[in-house]
Structures are given as C-alpha cells and as structure tokens.
Amino acid sequence: MPQLSRLSWSALSAWVVAAAVAAFPTWELWRERLDHEEFTRTRAGADPIYGVVGLYDSGTTLSPLVPLRRDLEAVMKITEDWAVPALVVLLGLLACLGRRDPGVTGRRVAGLLVLIAAIELLTSLYSDRAIYGETVPLFSADWFRGAAGGWGNTQLCLLAAAALVFAASRVVRPVIEDQTGASQAGTVWRRPAAALVDYLIAVAVLGVVVGPVWPLIGLGSGFRMGFGLLGQVDLFQVGTDLEELVILSGLFLYFWVQHALWGQTLGKRLLGVRVIAVRTGGRLGAGRTALRTLVFPLLAFVPDIGLLCLLADGLWMLLDPGGRVLRDRWLDATVVRDRVRDVRPQT
C-alpha cells in the first residue's frame, strides 16, 4: 500500500499562498463589477456602444478557429467568475494531504494554471481602433501584437501561483511510488487534446459542409458559426429552432456512435486513447455510452450551469483515487492508452 510523505510547513504554506494569489483576479473582477454597477446606477444607464459592437462583431465563418475562440471565451468567463484557478489549487492541496503523490499533483496543478493563463490571453477578442471595427483575425500580425500587449494581473497571478505550487511539489517526494499515479502518465494531456480535435472536426463539418447547404434546401440563412457553438445552442429551447436540433443531434451521434462501436472518436484515435469499461476491459455498451455523451459534450449547452458542472466533472480527477473524472467514476468507465494491455484506471 503506497505511503506518501506529508507536506512540510513550507510546502503547505506555498499551497495556501498560491490559492490566495490565484483567487485575486476573481476578487478584482467582482470589485470592478460592483463599482461599474454603482457608476451605472448614478449615471442613469450604461454605454450603448459596447452592445452595438458586440451585436455586429459576430457572424458566419468557415474557419473553425473563430467559434473555438468564442467558446473558449465563454469557458474562461465561467472560470474567472467562479474562481476556478483557486479551486484547482485547493483541490490539489486536499489531494496532497490525502493519498495522492504531491509531486505529480503539484506539477499537474501548476500546468493547469499556466494553461488557463495562456488561454485567457490568447482567446481575447482583440479589435481594431474603429468603433464598429471587426475582431482581429487569429494569428494575424495585429493579433500577435494584441496578445503580446495583453498581459495583465490575471496572467501574472496565475503564473505566480503556478510557480509556488511547482516549487512546493519539488520539495516533497513520495516514500513509495504510487503505481496508480504512475500508470496515468501520458493520458492527462491526451484527453483535452482529443476533445479539441473532435471539436474542430465538428465545427468544420457544420461550417464548411452543412452551413452552405442549409440555405439551398430552404431551411434558413445557415449556421452562424461566428457566435460559437455555446453561443448558438440553448438546450432548453432546442425544440423551437431546427438549427439547434441539427447541431445537438450531430454532436450526440458523433460521440455516441464512435464510442459505442470502437471506444474512441477520431480525436481519441489520433491521440492514441480509448474509453473502456473498468470491469471487463471492453467497450461500455450503447446505454452507458449514451449517458456519457449526454454529460459530455451535451451538458455544456445547458444555460448558466452546464459549463460549471463540466468543470466540476473534470476537476474531480484531482481527488479521485483512480484519477478519473466524475462521469467515468459514475459509469464505471476509464480512459486508457491504446498500447496499454494491462487495464488500469486512467485520466
């Protein structure tokens, strides 16, 4: 039975300070919002120009990168509003105080903080100087200039928190190596990478193939992919809009059919991972695969709480003894590398 060394006072202090530093951007955000509400109340109304720019800033596009940026922006808004970086640090600390390897957990938490900082910076909607200017295209010269000058308190705080957590993880070593944690190597980053590939495939098919055909068969003006998938689909109103029904049905079939037949989507196949049942080592079956698909990705389209629930689902892996996300723990499933024959719970 693996035994892990306890955190020293210096390492524990570093984790606590890192949580406070990671929470600072959310505290500053809510303070600014309260100040803005007070200003709006005293000045009798908000500035209408921002709403006009936001209305005309989105539209149709054939590039899967534009909806990706929009959807990531929505994810980052939830992340900052609910102090998710600070929650990640606290969950990592709880995992270290439990039976998880402090070194592995610390490196994963630090890497996640750096990733959040980078995504928040790179997905910002940089615009030109004109009042009704369009969003600067991704990877253009203006976009690189905007990203280079977009560093702020959020990035500095998250990077500082990541540095504290990483330093704390270097101090503590496990007395006996946790074999379960060791078997998870190589799968933690492959799952989000596979999800990104699947997202780009789905958006490309909807924008490049389905979108142009839609108006030709007399079913409307086409898909407004410039708004992103999350901004275009509302799961509670899917029955009132045929476009939303097509998007949700297409996403469900894409994930359900591939997982039921092969245990992996195109993204998982490219990254070399697959979903299996823990007890049998085989595929989950159509029923459990359908439930898993309803949680991810379709839960993301539930307004207000869907993304928050998915974040909680993913962060569960920091506390789970087998390193699994909550939906896999619930369905007795796991994700493994294709080349691994000895089936063990993976992340």
Summarised one tens digit per residue, pLDDT across range 167-218 is: 998 876 554 444 444 445 567 889 999 999 999 999 888 877 776 776 666 5
- The 3-state DSSP class for residue 275 equals strand
Residue 328 to residue 277: CA distance in whole angstroms? 9
Helix (H) or strand (E) holding 63: none
- pLDDT class for 220, splitting at 50, 70, 90? low
Residues 181, 346 contacting (CB under 8 angstroms) = no
Region label for 228, one of left (φ > 0), alpha (ψ between -120 and 50) or beta (otherwise): left
Residue 268's pLDDT is: 96
Q: Which residue has the higher pLDDT, 121 or 53?
A: 121
Cα dihedral value 235, 189, 18, 30, nearest 10:
-20
Phi, psi of 127 (to 5 degrees): -125, 160
Judged by DSSP in three states, 336 sits in strand
For residues 187 and 337, the answer to whether their CB atoms sit within 8 Å is yes
Q: What pLDDT was estimated at residue 178?
A: 47
Q: Give ∠ CA 31-32-37 in degrees, rounded to 5.
A: 100
Residue 43: count other Cβ atoms within 10 Å of its Cβ. 9
**Cα 44 to Cα 202: distance, rounded to the nearest angstrom:** 44
pLDDT band at 141 (very low <50, low <70, confident <90, very high): confident
Distances (CA, A) of 254 to 126, 197, 227, 248: 33, 13, 21, 10
Report the alpha-carbon distance of residue 333 to residue 340 in Å, rounded.
16
Pick the closest to residue 21 from 116, 121, 117, 160 (CA basis): 160
The overall average pLDDT reported for the chain is 81
For the residues 153-170, what does the mean pLDDT come to? 94
- CA–CA dist 15, 161 (Å, integer): 8
Q: What is the 8-class DSSP label of residue 217?
A: T
- Asked if residue 251 lies in contact with residue 201, where contact means CB atoms within 8 angstroms, the answer is no
pLDDT tens digits for 59-112?
444 567 888 888 998 999 999 999 999 999 999 999 988 877 888 899 999 999
Question: How far out from the chain centre does Cα 304 lie?
Answer: 15
pLDDT (0 to 100) of residue 140: 75
Q: What is the pLDDT of residue 222?
A: 59
pLDDT 10s digits, 240-260: 677 788 889 999 999 999 999
Strand partners, 277: 333
